[in-house]
């Protein structure tokens, strides 16, 4: 077995907008999977979110960069935003592994993503290039996540670490709804993110 020199977490998402749930998830993953670095990768155009009011890639990138500025372990990549057309996680992972064969990759997700992984493009190519680090979220029961994890382990030989993380119901969907109806999002996103959103009136109309 080759010893990988660096453990890198991949925090993928639409980040429309980034919020404390994402940051807490990344921090729990860093600590519990002993990751050296977490790379936030805002997704490009997603066929799963065509019907939503998605900010431009540049705006989502800006918000993520504001949210991680004070954390030396967190960094940001625009690799999915600069790729044309739909972007798929399997491609991102294959590109990363090719560029950096010495690193071991850990894809960080909430339970909803783990439960839907079978419907992603080429799950076997995702799971052969990374381990998963997953936290329970929303209404999903821990037992349901454990069953799904076992099934993915059997079917694809996946390596899955379930995180111990305080459950938070924060979601981008809820933040967009709050902004659209004039309610506060303070303390649900980092202060600089809230400031930028209010200043640019994002999601307000």
Q: Which residues bind ligand ATP (CB under 6 A)?
A: 13-16, 21-22, 25, 109-110, 112-113, 135, 137, 168, 170-173
Is 2 or 183 the residue whose CB approaches ligand ATP more closely? 183
54, 119, 68, 123: which is closest to 93 by C-alpha? 123
When CB distances to ligand ATP are compared, the closest residue is 110
Is 2 or 181 the residue whose CB approaches ligand ATP more closely? 181
Is 15 or 203 the residue whose CB approaches ligand ATP more closely? 15
109, 100, 151: which is closest to 129 by C-alpha? 100
CA-derived radius of gyration, the chain: 17
Q: 3-class SS at 97? A: helix
Torsions phi, psi for 185 (to 5 deg): -120, 10
Is 102 or 169 the residue whose CB approaches ligand ATP more closely? 169
Instruction: Report d(CA 162, CA 181) in Å as an integer.
Output: 35
């Amino acid at each position: 077995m080759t010893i990988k020199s660096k453990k890198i977490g991949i925090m993928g998402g639409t980040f429309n907008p980034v919020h404390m749930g994402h940051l807490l998830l990344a921090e729990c993953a860093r600590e519990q999977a002993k990751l050296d670095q977490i790379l936030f990768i805002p997704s490009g155009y997603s066929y799963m979110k065509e019907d939503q009011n998605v900010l431009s890639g540049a705006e989502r990138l800006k918000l993520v960069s504001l949210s991680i500025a004070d954390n030396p372990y967190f960094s940001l990549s625009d690799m999915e935003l600069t790729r044309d057309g739909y972007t798929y996680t399997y491609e991102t992972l294959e590109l990363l592994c090719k560029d950096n064969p010495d690193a071991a990759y850990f894809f960080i997700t909430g339970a909803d993503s783990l439960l839907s992984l079978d419907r992603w493009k080429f799950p076997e190519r995702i799971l052969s290039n990374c381990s998963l680090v997953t936290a329970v979220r929303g209404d999903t029961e821990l037992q349901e996540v454990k069953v799904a994890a076992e099934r993915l382990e059997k079917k694809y030989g996946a390596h899955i670490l379930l995180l111990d993380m305080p459950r938070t119901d924060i979601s981008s969907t809820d933040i967009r709804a709050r902004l659209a109806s004039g309610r506060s999002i303070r303390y649900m996103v980092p202060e600089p993110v809230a400031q930028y959103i209010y200043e640019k009136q994002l999601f307000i109309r």
